[in-house]
Chains A and B, each alone.
Chain A
Amino acid sequence: EAQVTQNPRYLITVTGKKLTVTCSQNMNHEYMSWYRQDPGLGLRQIYYSMNVEVTDKGDVPEGYKVSRKEKRNFPLILESPSPNQTSLYFCASSPYLGSGTTYEQYFGPGTRLTVT
C-alpha cells in the first residue's frame, strides 16, 4: 500500500531534550516536506527536500533541522525543543515534475508533539 508513515504518533517531552520524528514514504517520490499545523494558522511549511541531499527552508524553519540521506526517509530533528514547538506535525511527499513544480502531496498520519 502506498503510504507515508511517521513515528512516533504522539510524543510528550521536556524543554531541551533532543528528539527526532521519522518520516518514510514508499512511493519513490522525490519531493518531501514537513509542516506544522496550529489552530487558525493552517499548515506552515518547515523544511522541504527536492531529492537526496537537497533540502531547503520553508516558512518556519527556526528550531528545526532535517536531513535527506535516502530517498524514502526525511527525519525532522528538534535539537532543543521549546514549548512554542508544541504542535501537530505532518510529513508529506509528492512526485517532482521538474522546473520547480510538484504534484499533489500525500500526507502522513501526523505526530502530535507536546513540549513542557
Chain B
Amino acid sequence: ELKVEQNPLFLSMQEGKNYTIYCNYSTTSDRLYWYRQDPGKSLESLFVLLSNGAVKQEGRLMASLDTKARLSTLHITAAVHDLSATYFCAVEEEYGNKLVFGAGTILRVKS
C-alpha cells in the first residue's frame, strides 16, 4: 500500500531564509505532484515530476524527484510572505490509478 510522508508538517520561516520540505513515499512510483493550498481555497498545481532526476523551478520554489530513494524535495529560496500556504505532495500509485497525498506542510513566512 502506498504511503506518503511529508516533513516537516509545520514550518515557520523568516523572510529571506532558505528551507526544504521533504516528501517520502513507500512504493515504486515515478509520478509525483506538488500542490499549494491557500487558507479556505482549493488546490493549485505547482509542479509535475514525471521521471527520476526531474527538477522543476518556478520563482523561489524548486522541486526535484529521486525515484530510487523514493524522495521528492521542495526547496524554498529566500522566502517571502506570499509563499505562506499549505504545500502538499501527491504520489501516483503505479498502475493503480490512484493519487495518494501527504498530510501537508503548513508554511508561515514571518517578516
Contacts and interface: CB of A to CB of B under 8 A. Distances in A.
Query: A and B: partners?
Result: yes
Contact of B42 (A44, A56, A110): A110
Interface range, B side: 20 to 34
A42 B102 contact: yes
A40 B97 contact: no
A90 B48 contact: no
Given A42-B88, A43-B101, A104 B43 contact: no
A41 B42 contact: no
Contacts, number: 59
Given A42-B88, A90-B42, A90-B43, A105 B99 contact: yes
A61 to B, nearest CB: 12
25 contacts: A40-B9, A41-B103, A42-B4, A42-B6, A42-B103, A42-B104, A43-B43, A43-B88, A44-B101, A45-B99, A48-B97, A48-B98, A59-B100, A90-B42, A90-B43, A99-B95, A100-B96, A101-B31, A101-B95, A102-B92, A102-B99, A104-B45, A105-B45, A107-B42, A110-B42
Interface of B: 4, 6, 9, 31, 33, 35, 41-45, 48, 88, 90, 92, 94-104
